[in-house]
């Protein structure tokens, strides 16, 4: 079946998630937050006592993930973990388990299954390259490291969490480094992906740009 797919890839805190969800809603498409699957895997591994570097154990956890996505709510084995998976600690764990090839394989089909009529917007790092190489529109959404650190900082403060800009900047840099330099599905802009730099751009403009690209297809 030929389900229309839009693939949006890019680094953390680029505004990708917010923009992607809005575009999906505008088009009435399903939405895949693939980062959430890696975050859930990191959390489930931790709960199961499996180290984030134990490839075989984490891959087993990934293959057996009992997850329900219901709007903004994410249930892991029936427990609401929506807030827990967004912590910086789990973000770091996600980027560690995401570097393990067996974990990525274990999550491959689960991600492809999100492609259902009338269409899908996939958000992640390897949507356009590995999961949906057939995607009609591929977008590489990014912003400067400074802008991204600032956004993450404001997000944490707004949530009432403690935040330290220098620590966030260092953390993002380390995660970028892991995502770009890993052997499997490294983060990079594909030759057939359109670049959307949101450093000096609001969410509305980023959403409108992607919708225009989609209409032009």
Using CB under 6 A, list all residues that contact ligand C5P.
Answer: 12, 34-35, 38-39, 91, 94-95, 98, 124-126, 175, 179
> What DSSP element (H or E) covers 192?
none
Q: Which is nearer to ligand C5P, 43 or 179 (CB)?
A: 179
Instruction: For ligand C5P, give the closer residue by CB, 30 or 125.
Output: 125
- Cα torsion angle, 35, 74, 132, 210, sign: negative
Minimum separation from the CB atom of position 158 to ligand C5P (A): 17
Nearest partner of 85 among 17, 136, 147, judged by Cα: 17
Output the smallest distance, CB 215 to ligand C5P, in A. Answer: 26
Shortest spacing between CB 94 and ligand C5P, in angstroms: 4
Nearer to ligand C5P, 43 or 207 (CB): 43
Q: If you write DSSP's letter for every residue of 52-107 in order, what string do you get?
A: TT-HHHHHHHHHT--EEEETTEEEETTEE-TTGGGSHHHHHHHHHHTT-HHHHHHH
- Structural contact between residues 152 and 13, judged by C-beta atoms closer than 8 angstroms: yes
Smaller CB separation from ligand C5P, 140 or 212: 140
In whole angstroms, the minimum distance from the beta carbon of 198 to ligand C5P comes to: 15
């Amino acid at each position: 079946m030929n389900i229309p797919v839009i693939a949006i890839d890019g680094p953390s805190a680029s505004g990708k998630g917010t923009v992607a969800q809005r575009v999906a809603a505008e088009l009435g498409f399903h939405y895949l937050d693939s980062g959430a699957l890696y975050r859930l895997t990191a959390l489930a591994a931790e709960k199961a006592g499996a180290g984030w570097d134990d490839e075989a154990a984490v891959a087993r956890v990934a293959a057996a993930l009992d997850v329900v996505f219901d709007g903004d709510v994410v249930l892991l084995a029936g427990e609401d973990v929506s807030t827990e998976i967004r912590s910086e600690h789990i973000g770091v764990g996600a980027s560690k388990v995401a570097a393990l090839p067996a974990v990525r394989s274990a999550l491959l089909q689960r991600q492809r299954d999100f492609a259902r009529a009338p269409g899908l917007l996939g958000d992640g790092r390897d949507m356009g390259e590995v999961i949906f190489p057939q995607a009609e529109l591929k977008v590489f959404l990014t912003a400067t490291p400074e802008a991204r650190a600032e956004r993450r900082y404001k997000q944490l403060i707004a949530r009432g969490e403690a935040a330290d800009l220098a620590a966030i900047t260092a953390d993002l840099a380390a995660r970028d480094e892991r995502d770009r330099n890993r052997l499997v599905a490294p983060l990079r802009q594909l030759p057939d992906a359109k670049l959307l730099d949101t450093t000096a751009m609001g969410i509305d403009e980023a959403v409108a740009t992607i919708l225009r690209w989609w209409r032009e297809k």
